[in-house]
């Protein structure tokens, strides 16, 4: 599963996909998946990337990383629109807290922003 998650561009590196599987952030059919688990057509895969939870359906099996348009033929994003809207609102609110042109956020301000988004 780690190789497939990397090939369809859900994770930027295969190592990230493997780490997320080991941390039980990747679920197949509602159960945590080990990195070596075999992916089957029609599997529903849930990926937790705090603060959001993404849901995908396996439409094709590939082992090599391909271009984004080709990868989109092998996966369907089933994430509810409400989930994406919720995350969008969190990010919008975080950016409005700071005055435009006020310079780089301080370490404390960055930590506060991270708390809001996670």
CA distances for 42 relative to 14, 54, 59, 65, 116, angstroms? 22, 16, 6, 20, 35
State which residues form the domain around 111. 80-118
Same domain for 68 and 110, yes or no, is: no
Identify the segments of the chain with pLDDT beneath 70.
93-101, 118
Instruction: Say if pTM beats, i.e. exceeds, 0.85.
Output: no
Same domain for 59 and 16, yes or no, is: yes
**Domain count across the chain:** 2
Same domain for 66 and 40, yes or no, is: yes
Same domain for 107 and 65, yes or no, is: no
Same domain for 85 and 75, yes or no, is: no
- What CATH number does residue 29 fall under? 3.10.290.10
* pLDDT tens digits, one per residue of 52-82: 899 999 999 998 999 999 999 999 999 999 9
């Amino acid at each position: 599963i780690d190789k497939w998650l990397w090939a369809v561009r859900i994770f930027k590196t295969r190592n990230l996909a493997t780490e997320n599987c080991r941390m039980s952030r990747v679920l197949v059919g509602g159960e945590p998946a080990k990195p070596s688990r075999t992916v089957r057509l029609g599997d529903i895969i849930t990926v937790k990337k705090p603060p959001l939870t993404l849901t995908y359906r396996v439409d094709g099996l590939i082992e090599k990383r391909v271009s984004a348009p080709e990868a989109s033929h092998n996966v369907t994003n089933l994430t509810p629109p409400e989930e994406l809207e919720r995350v969008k609102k969190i990010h919008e609110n975080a950016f409005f807290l700071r005055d435009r042109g006020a310079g780089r956020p301080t370490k404390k301000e960055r930590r506060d922003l991270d708390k809001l988004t996670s």
